[in-house]
Amino acid sequence: MSDSSYGDTPLSVPTVGQTLTPQTAPGGLAFRSADFDTLAEALDYAAEGENGMNFYDRRGTLDTTLSYADLRDKALKIGARLAGLGLRRGARVAVVAETRPEFVEFFFACQYAGLVPVPIPAALNLGGHQAFIEQTSAMLKLVEASVAVGSEFFAPYLEQCAEQLAKNAELDSLQFVGTFSEFEKLPRSHYPLTPVDADEVAYLQFTSGSTRFPRAVMVKSAAVMANLSGIIRHGAQIGPKDRCLSWLPFYHDMGLVGLVLVPVASQINVDYLGTRDFAMRPRLWLDLLHRTKATISFSPPFGYELVAKRLREAEAKKYDLSAWRVAGVGAEMIRGEILDTFAQTVEGSGFNARAFLPCYGMAECSLGVTFSSLTETFRCDTIDRDAHASSGIAEPLGASAQQARSFVECGQVLPGYEIEVRNADGSVLADREIGTIFLRGPSIMAGYLNEPEVTWNTLSGDGWLNTGDLGYMIESRLVVTGRAKDLIIVNGRNVWPQDLEYIAESQKGIRSGDALAFSIPSDSGEFAVIVVQCRERDTQARIQLIDRIRSDIARELGIDCLVDLVPAHTLPRTSSGKLSRSRARADYMHSGGLAAARADIQAS
């Protein structure tokens, strides 16, 4: 389609008071499996059919429908207003990524207007007012945003961010800050829009780790389109009769790429429930799967675990989950017992455990790069835990052995991609030898925005990405065993240790370099621990310090954390003098801290 097609396009206007009816398959359009060069082209084609998106409220009631035709019309209208601001090509448009139609409309408006959308986490409840201001300000500063827009709820916080950044002379690129409705009052440009092309950055994706020290992945159009094609054709094997359902946040790569862009690129229907609404009422996920007969829905392991905990005995029989053929699972370490428990809990609903689709990927690869088979039940590999820890070899072991440890296999790499497991000197390891996972393929990122050194350390000149994750191969199947990075994952949320350490070091009497944070294994996954050097001797004062640190971490990061006070000058360091989180973790676990921690976790 030529650029002139994106001019002052007449827009369709919904009938006032029209009945909201979920879009239903088939969409009246010949199915194409992401055979497009750009996201704008994908939406252009999807808009010729009848399918689209449905948004449900916290009670599971249909609130809004948005056909792909209407999405295209609204995106063009917003794109014309963005063009009216006179923004330079490739300027960044920050949008608070609530589960709302407006986010999707702005995201695609940027595709048509040659701009770069930046999803901003809608996570005010996790850290409180001031934490959101600080975190969002850091993101706006990093991307040098020209526009910052959100709902009536979030826009005032964006305005405070803008005021703070302007006051400190940290950002002078912002030309509009406000609500979606305020943006609608801006004049439209009547010049033709020039969409993002295949070799340009389609969007920026903040990695799901650090909030205080954000890192933005640059994803080009060609990269994301290649990944969408792989997911649709080979990963989930999507066809025209499929239907997606998601409660995942739009600011997470699985939620954005997997459950927003995949449906558009495959022209299929998709239903959305807000992330917070799912967390409050997890059974709504099953209820909507039952009512919509959705065939594809993904979740991190903790989502399946949460549903299993909340579902009452024999309650599963009231749901018909027989249509759910792809129950994707990824975004964090996958424990087989969580999937087994979920399958047992929903027994009687028609759910087939063969639907589980363990996969592996990351924002730096757009989304997914390895997928398990859809024709068999997920596989677990059980190995000798001690050999794993001491020699780095994944030695097979019987599941009943005391030192056994099981890992869910994440399947084979998509066609066109390469995967290697390497040791510290870069040599490629043999099967069952544990090392760092490296990937190469068409959807690898262009780099981290404004961080050339980090990009250079992560992405080689010949296209190999150092994932920072550890794992091993069994024939052509990948098994992920952990993270070489210091990233901590709690209930599906990635937390950087620097964020925990910063909070501890902000306390009176605690100095910079007095804290080290890491994670330990717990019955439900990982649990955060922070070891803090403390010079205070008064028992009551020490108790109060621990309470303050835990309270501040809960307020800012939304997680619980064990706090261990140790004497000054006891934190371990490397030979070069740097503090060592890995050694602190090992010391903590071997000194009896792990047993005490597990007791504390159970008590809490």
CATH number assigned to the domain comprising residue 433: 2.30.38.10
Residue 494 sits in the same domain as residue 462: no
The number of domains in the chain is: 2
Q: Is residue 86 part of a domain?
A: no
* pLDDT score at 595: 46
Is the model more confident about 47 or about 568? 47
Is the model more confident about 602 or about 75? 75
Backbone angles phi, psi at 174, to 5 degrees: -65, 125
Q: Is residue 524 part of a domain?
A: yes
Residues whose CB falls within 8 Å of the CB of residue 8, separated by 6 or more in sequence, listed in order: 80, 188, 190
Domain boundary among 483, 508, 541: 483
* pLDDT score at 1: 37
Q: Is residue 459 part of a domain?
A: yes
Residue 505 sits in the same domain as residue 525: yes
Distance CA 53, CA 65 (A): 6
Identify the domain containing residue 532 by its residue range: 488-603
Distance CA 8, CA 5 (A): 9
Around 555, how many Cα atoms within 13 Å sit in the side-chain half-sphere? 12
Residue 478 sits in the same domain as residue 513: no
Residues whose CB falls within 8 Å of the CB of residue 317, separated by 6 or more in sequence, listed in order: 348, 349
Distance CA 432, CA 423 (A): 12
Which residues partner with 518 through β-bridges?
A: 529
Residue 390 sits in the same domain as residue 423: yes
Backbone angles phi, psi at 507, to 5 degrees: -75, 150
Residue 515 sits in the same domain as residue 478: no
Which residues partner with 177 through β-bridges?
A: 148
Backbone angles phi, psi at 400, to 5 degrees: -90, -5
Residue with tokens 């790069």: 369
Answer yes or no: is pLDDT of 243 > 70. yes
What CATH number corresponds to the domain at position 596? 3.30.300.30
User: What percent of the chain is helix, strand and coil (3-state, nearest 5)?
Assistant: 35, 25, 40
Which residues partner with 178 through β-bridges?
A: 149
| Average pLDDT over the chain, rounded to an integer | 88
* Mean pLDDT, rounded, for 464-471: 92
Count of CB atoms situated within 10 Å of the CB of 227:
31
Domain boundary among 483, 509, 539: 483
Q: Is residue 422 part of a domain?
A: yes
296-299/326-329 β-pairing: parallel
Answer yes or no: is pLDDT of 233 > 50. yes
Q: Is residue 227 part of a domain?
A: no
Q: Is residue 430 part of a domain?
A: yes
Cα-based angle 486, 490, 492 (whole degrees, multiple of 5) = 105
Answer yes or no: is pLDDT of 494 > 80. no
Residue 507 sits in the same domain as residue 580: yes
- pLDDT interval class at 211 (50, 70, 90): low
Q: Is residue 585 part of a domain?
A: yes
Backbone angles phi, psi at 524, to 5 degrees: -110, 10
Answer yes or no: is pLDDT of 311 > 60. yes
* pLDDT score at 602: 44
Answer yes or no: is pLDDT of 186 > 60. yes
* pLDDT score at 556: 78
Residue 492 sits in the same domain as residue 552: yes
* pLDDT score at 12: 32
Cα-based angle 47, 112, 78 (whole degrees, multiple of 5) = 90
Residue 461 sits in the same domain as residue 496: no
Q: Is the CB of residue 244 less than 8 Å from the CB of residue 263? A: yes
Answer yes or no: is pLDDT of 274 > 50. yes
- Chain-centroid distance of CA 404 in Å reads 30
- Chain-centroid distance of CA 60 in Å reads 23
Q: Which two tokens stand for residue 195?
A: 């969409």
Q: Is the CB of residue 316 less than 8 Å from the CB of residue 346? A: yes
Cβ density class 252-287: b for 16+ within 10 Å, e for less: bbbbbbbbbbbbbbbbbbbbbbbbbbbeeebbbbbb
* pLDDT score at 486: 67
Residue 587 sits in the same domain as residue 513: yes
* Mean pLDDT, rounded, for 130-138: 88
Domain boundary among 459, 483, 507: 483
Answer yes or no: is pLDDT of 258 > 90. yes
Share of the chain above pLDDT 90, in %: 65
* Mean pLDDT, rounded, for 10-39: 61
Q: Is residue 542 part of a domain?
A: yes
First to last CA, the chain: 59
Distance CA 496, CA 487 (A): 5
Distance CA 248, CA 255 (A): 5
- pLDDT interval class at 332 (50, 70, 90): confident
Backbone angles phi, psi at 105, to 5 degrees: -60, -45
Answer yes or no: is pLDDT of 205 > 90. yes
Residue 599 sits in the same domain as residue 496: yes
Residue 473 sits in the same domain as residue 496: no
- pLDDT interval class at 401 (50, 70, 90): low
Task: Check residue 468 and give left, alpha or beta (phi > 0: left; psi -120 to 50: alpha).
Answer: left
* pLDDT score at 173: 92
Distance CA 44, CA 427 (A): 46
Residue 495 sits in the same domain as residue 588: yes
pLDDT in tens, 407-453: 899 999 999 999 999 998 999 999 999 899 999 999 999 999 999 99
Which of helix, strand or coil describes residue 587?
helix
